[in-house]
Chain A
Amino acid sequence: MAVNFVRPKIPKFAPDPWAIQFDEQGHLRHLLTIEGLGPQWITRILDTAEGFVSVTDREIKKVPLLRGRTVVNLFFESSTRTRTTFELAAKRLSADVLNLNLATSATKKGESLLDTLRNIEAMQADMFVVRHEQSGAAHFIARHVAPHVSVLNAGDGWHSHPTQALLDAFTIRRHKGDFTPLRVAIVGDIRHSRVARSQMHVLNSLNVGELRVIAPRTLIPTDVEKLGVRVFHDMREGLRDVDVIIMLRLQRERMESGLLPSEEEFYRLYGLTEEKLAWAKDDAIVMHPGPANRGVEIESSVADGPQSVILEQVSNGIGVRMAVMSLCMSANRGENA
C-alpha cells in the first residue's frame, strides 16, 4: 500500500519557530532561542560581546548606544540574578529600564498575558526582556508585539535560555579558544533545564567536538540524543577526558516529585567533588549557571577552586547581554546589515 504523505500547503504558522527572530532584511530582531541562529550569528554576538566586556573594565562603565530607549524587564517568574544582569546590561547601554515583577501582580488579577503586553507597549517600550514559566511564552509574545519592539527570552519554561548559553559559550571560548577539539559534559537535571537545551544548541552549532549529558534516567528527557548529545549515567565514564564541566542546579522539588530518592544519593553519585573532578582533564574548567547548591550538586572547594569559572560567567553575562541588546536594537534601526 502506498502511503505517500505530501503536505499540501505551508500552514499559516511559520514551520520554523525560530524564523520569527529575524526581520525581513535578515537582521536579528528578537532573541528567543539559539535554534536557527547559525554559527555566524552566534560568533557575531560573541565577538560583539568581547567589545562590551572591556567596557565593564573601564572607570565609566557606560556607552550611549541605547540612550533614549526603554527596556522593560517582564518577569512572570521570579529571578534575581538574571534580572539584575539584564538590568545592568541595559543601563550600561544608557537605556531606561523598567522592572516589572508580574508573578505577583497583574496576571494574578486575571489580566491576560496579552493585556499586560499591550499596556506596557502603550508606555512606548522598545524592548521586552521576558521570563515566563511556560515553554514557548517568549515566542508567543514575539508574535504579538508591535513591529518596533524586540523580545529577548530570559528563560521560558524548560525550553530556552539563549543568553545564558551564549555567555557560557563566550566563557568557554575565552578559556579554550577553538570548540572543535573540546569535550563538554553537562551534569544534572537535563530534563527540566532550559539552560541545558540552549547549551546543546549553541555548542553543537559551534561544532563542539563532543557533547555529553550525565544524569540518572529520571533527569534525562526522552530522545535527547536527537539533540546531538551522548548520554551517560556514570560520572566516571562521563567525565573522562572532558575539557568543560557544566553543572546544573538541582531543585529540591525534584526529590519530592519522585525523580530522585534523596539529595545525599544524588550528591554521592553526581555531585561534583574534587575527587570526581580529577576524572576529567587536568585543565578542565568548571561552570555553573548559578545559583549553586553547595553540597547538593557541587562541593564548595570545587565551586571556589582554581578550575571554577563561575564568577567569570556572571561578569561575562553582562557583556553578552549588552551585545544581544545592541544587535537587536540596531535591527530595529536598520543598522546591522
Chain B
Amino acid sequence: MKDAPENLGLDYDPVRHPEGCRPGIDCDHWVIRGARLRDPSSELDRNDDIYLSNGRIIAIGEAPGDWPGDTAEHLCAEGHWLIPGIIDGWARLREPGLEHKATIATESAAAVAGGISTLVMPPDTTPVLDTVAVARYIKRRAQLAGRARVVAIGAMTQQLEGELLAEMAALDEGGCVAISNAHYPFHDLRLMRRALEYAATFNLQVLLQPIDPSLSARGCAHDGAVATRLGLPGLPVSAETAPLAQLIAMINETGARVHVPMISSAAALKLIERAKADGLPITAGVSAHQLWLTEMDTDALDPNAHVIPPLRTMRDRDALRRGLAEGLIDTVVSDHQPHEPDAKLAPFPETEPGISGLETLLPLVLKLVEEDVITFDRAIDALATRPASLFGLSDAGSIAVGQRADLALIDPDAMWSLDSTGMASAGSNTPFAGWDFAHRVEATWVNGRRVFLREE
C-alpha cells in the first residue's frame, strides 16, 4: 500500500537542526535590520527591518507584538540587498550514484554560498528517481546536510528507459515537484505522447529537454564555424528544434504542462514564442552560461566549455538574452554538473560535458542587470518568482509576511573574482575562473536558518 501523502511530507518540513547546532546561527528568531528589501513580486523595494520566526517571515517594518526581543539574533545589513532565495530549477547533485563527483551535502553547501535556497534535482540519479523511496532518501540526505532545500523531479518512465511509464501520480503524491525524462529519449513518439497524456490527467508539471539522440550523435560542439575548424563533431541546432517542434505538436493535443529547462538557440526561442502566442501551456528556461558564452569559447579546446546543449553562436546568445529580457524565457538555471578533475582531463570530445554552476548562477544573472541586458526585476522573476510558481512552491520565491524565510543577502558593491580552486562545490569545472563580478552573496537563510555567512 502506498504511503498517504501527508505521511510522506517530502516538501514542506522545516529543515531539521542537526545535532550540536550553533546558537545564534541556527537560531529560530532573526531580525535583519536596514537591508534594501528587493522583491518585485511583492512590489517591495525599500530599506526596512524584517523579522523571521520559526522558518517564516512574520513581519516587515515594525516588530510583531510577541517578538522575543533579546533572544532573537540581530543582523545589521545596511548597504546590502535582501532578495528572495534563488530557486535553481535544474541542478545535478550527483547523489545517489556518483558520490565521487559530489554529494548532496557538498552541493547544497555550494548552493547557499551562491544565494540558492532551493535546488530542483532531475531524476537521472543511480538508482533512478522513479520511486518514492529514492525521493525520500534524497530529502533525508538534504535534511542531514542542513543547507539548501532539495526538491526532486520524478522520472517519467521507469529507469528513464523511455519504455514503460513510471508511477507519476505516486511520485507527485510523494512530494516530487514535477516529472521528467531528463535528457533520455523516449522509445518512440507514441510512448512520449502517452506519457504526456498520462501526466496531463493529473495536471503534473512536465520537464523535457529536447535533444534528438540521432541528430546529436557524437556531437560535442555547436555545428558551426568553430567546430568545423577544430574538427569537432558538430551538434546541429536541428537536434534541438526538431524534437521541440514534435513536443509542441503533442502539447497541442494533450494539453500537458511542459517546461523546457534549457534552450540554446534562436530557432528554439522562435518555436517557444509561437507556441506561447498560440496559448499552449509551455514555458522555457536557459542556463546562465548560455547567456554569456558562445562557440568561440570552445576555441581554446578548454574542456570546461564542453556543455550539452553546446555553446552556440553570438546571434543565438543575443537572442536568448532578448528572450530572457522580454520574458519569453521564463527561468534561468545553473545546469549544475560538478565533475571530479579526471572527467575533464582528456582531449575535448572525450571529456564529460557540464559546468559546476551553482556559485555563478546569481552572479552571472546580476551581471546581465549590470550591463542593462535585463532589469533587476526580470532577474528576480526568472530566478525566484517564476520557478516557485512553476514547481508549485507557493510559499517560496518571494519576500512577504507568511512566506518561508528563504533569503539571500547581497553586497552590491563587492568586487570579486572567481577562483575555481576556492569554490564550495566539489566540482571546480568552470569556464568562468578569473571573471570579475560586482555583486557577492554574503549570507543565505533557508527556512529561517542562516545556513551561509561569508567569512573574509
Q: Could you tell me which A residues sit within 8 Å of B by CB distance?
A: 1-5, 8-17, 35, 112-114, 132, 134-137, 139-140, 156-160, 194, 197, 221-224, 226-227
Q: Known interface pairs A3-B373, A17-B300. Does A158 touch B231 (Cβ–Cβ under 8 Å)?
A: yes
Contact across chains for A222 and B301 when beta carbons are under 8 A apart: no
**Considering the chains assembled together, what is the distance between the CA atoms of A156 and B348 in angstroms?**
11
Write the nearest CB–CB distance from B100 to chain A, whole angstroms: 15
Write the nearest CB–CB distance from A219 to chain B, whole angstroms: 12
Q: Known interface pairs A17-B300, A137-B347. Does A222 touch B234 (Cβ–Cβ under 8 Å)?
A: yes
Q: Known interface pairs A3-B321, A8-B436, A17-B299. Does A132 touch B347 (Cβ–Cβ under 8 Å)?
A: yes
Contact with A along B265-294 (1 / 0, CB 8 A): 000000000000000000000000000100
Contact across chains for A134 and B229 when beta carbons are under 8 A apart: no
Q: Which residues in window 226-271 of B have CB below 8 A to A? A: 227-234, 236
- Chain A residues positioned under 8 Å from B301 (CB to CB): 13, 17, 136, 139-140
Contact across chains for A134 and B348 when beta carbons are under 8 A apart: yes
- Chain A residues positioned under 8 Å from B133 (CB to CB): none
A-B contact pairs, 30 of them (CB 8 A): A2-B371, A2-B373, A3-B321, A3-B373, A4-B371, A9-B436, A11-B302, A12-B433, A13-B300, A17-B230, A17-B299, A112-B345, A112-B346, A114-B345, A134-B350, A135-B231, A135-B347, A135-B348, A135-B349, A136-B347, A136-B349, A157-B232, A159-B230, A197-B229, A222-B223, A222-B224, A223-B224, A226-B225, A226-B229, A227-B225
Interface check B325, CB cutoff 8 A: yes
The 4 closest A-B pairs by CB, nearest first: A159-B231, A158-B231, A223-B225, A137-B347
- Chain A residues positioned under 8 Å from B435 (CB to CB): 8-9, 11
- Chain B residues positioned under 8 Å from A135 (CB to CB): 230-233, 347-349
- Chain B residues positioned under 8 Å from A10 (CB to CB): 434
**Considering the chains assembled together, what is the distance between the CA atoms of A224 and B434 in angstroms?**
33
Interface check B62, CB cutoff 8 A: no
Nearest B residue to A10 by beta-carbon distance?
B434
Nearest B residue to A226 by beta-carbon distance?
B225
- Chain A residues positioned under 8 Å from B224 (CB to CB): 222-223
Q: When the two chains form the complex, which single residue of B229, B346, B372 contacts A227, counting CB atoms closer than 8 Å?
A: B229
- Chain A residues positioned under 8 Å from B436 (CB to CB): 8-9
Q: Which residues in window 187-243 of B have CB below 8 A to A? A: 223-225, 227-234, 236
**Considering the chains assembled together, what is the distance between the CA atoms of A136 and B345 in angstroms?**
12
Contact across chains for A158 and B345 when beta carbons are under 8 A apart: no
**Considering the chains assembled together, what is the distance between the CA atoms of A1 and B371 in angstroms?**
10
Interface centre among B225, B227, B229 (most CB of A within 10 A): B229
Contact with A along B297-321 (1 / 0, CB 8 A): 0011110100000000000001001
Contact across chains for B372 and A1 when beta carbons are under 8 A apart: yes
Nearest B residue to A161 by beta-carbon distance?
B231
- Chain B residues positioned under 8 Å from A197 (CB to CB): 229, 231
Contact across chains for B349 and A221 when beta carbons are under 8 A apart: no
Q: Could you tell me which B residues sit within 8 Å of A by CB distance?
A: 223-225, 227-234, 236, 292, 299-302, 304, 318, 321-322, 325, 342, 345-350, 371-373, 417, 431, 433-436
Q: Known interface pairs A3-B318, A15-B300. Does A136 touch B232 (Cβ–Cβ under 8 Å)?
A: yes
**Considering the chains assembled together, what is the distance between the CA atoms of A157 and B234 in angstroms?**
13
Besides A4-B371, A136-B230, A140-B346, 9 other A-B contacts (C-beta < 8 A): A1-B325, A9-B435, A12-B433, A16-B300, A17-B301, A134-B349, A135-B232, A222-B234, A223-B225
- Chain A residues positioned under 8 Å from B325 (CB to CB): 1
Write the nearest CB–CB distance from B131 to chain A, whole angstroms: 33
Contact across chains for B349 and A11 when beta carbons are under 8 A apart: no
Contact across chains for B372 and A2 when beta carbons are under 8 A apart: yes
Nearest A residue to B374 by beta-carbon distance?
A1
Q: Known interface pairs A136-B348, A226-B228, A227-B228. Does A221 touch B234 (Cβ–Cβ under 8 Å)?
A: yes
Write the nearest CB–CB distance from A270 to chain B, whole angstroms: 20
Contact across chains for B434 and A9 when beta carbons are under 8 A apart: yes
**Considering the chains assembled together, what is the distance between the CA atoms of A3 and B292 in angstroms?**
11
- Chain A residues positioned under 8 Å from B431 (CB to CB): 11
- Chain A residues positioned under 8 Å from B371 (CB to CB): 2-5
**Considering the chains assembled together, what is the distance between the CA atoms of A114 and B341 in angstroms?**
13
Contact across chains for B347 and A156 when beta carbons are under 8 A apart: yes
- Chain A residues positioned under 8 Å from B322 (CB to CB): 1
- Chain A residues positioned under 8 Å from B231 (CB to CB): 135, 156-160, 194, 197
Write the nearest CB–CB distance from B377 to chain A, whole angstroms: 15
Nearest B residue to A2 by beta-carbon distance?
B372
- Chain B residues positioned under 8 Å from A11 (CB to CB): 300, 302, 431, 433-435
Nearest A residue to B350 by beta-carbon distance?
A134
- Chain A residues positioned under 8 Å from B233 (CB to CB): 135, 158
- Chain A residues positioned under 8 Å from B232 (CB to CB): 135-136, 157-159
Q: When the two chains form the complex, which single residue of A15, A113, A134 contacts B299, counting CB atoms closer than 8 Å?
A: A15
- Chain A residues positioned under 8 Å from B230 (CB to CB): 17, 135-136, 159
- Chain B residues positioned under 8 Å from A112 (CB to CB): 342, 345-346
- Chain B residues positioned under 8 Å from A12 (CB to CB): 433-434
Q: When the two chains form the complex, which single residue of B225, B228, B292, B373 contacts A1, counting CB atoms closer than 8 Å?
A: B373
Write the nearest CB–CB distance from A198 to chain B, whole angstroms: 10
**Considering the chains assembled together, what is the distance between the CA atoms of A8 and B227 in angstroms?**
24
**Considering the chains assembled together, what is the distance between the CA atoms of A114 and B344 in angstroms?**
12
**Considering the chains assembled together, what is the distance between the CA atoms of A156 and B228 in angstroms?**
14
**Considering the chains assembled together, what is the distance between the CA atoms of A9 and B292 in angstroms?**
13
- Chain B residues positioned under 8 Å from A134 (CB to CB): 346-350
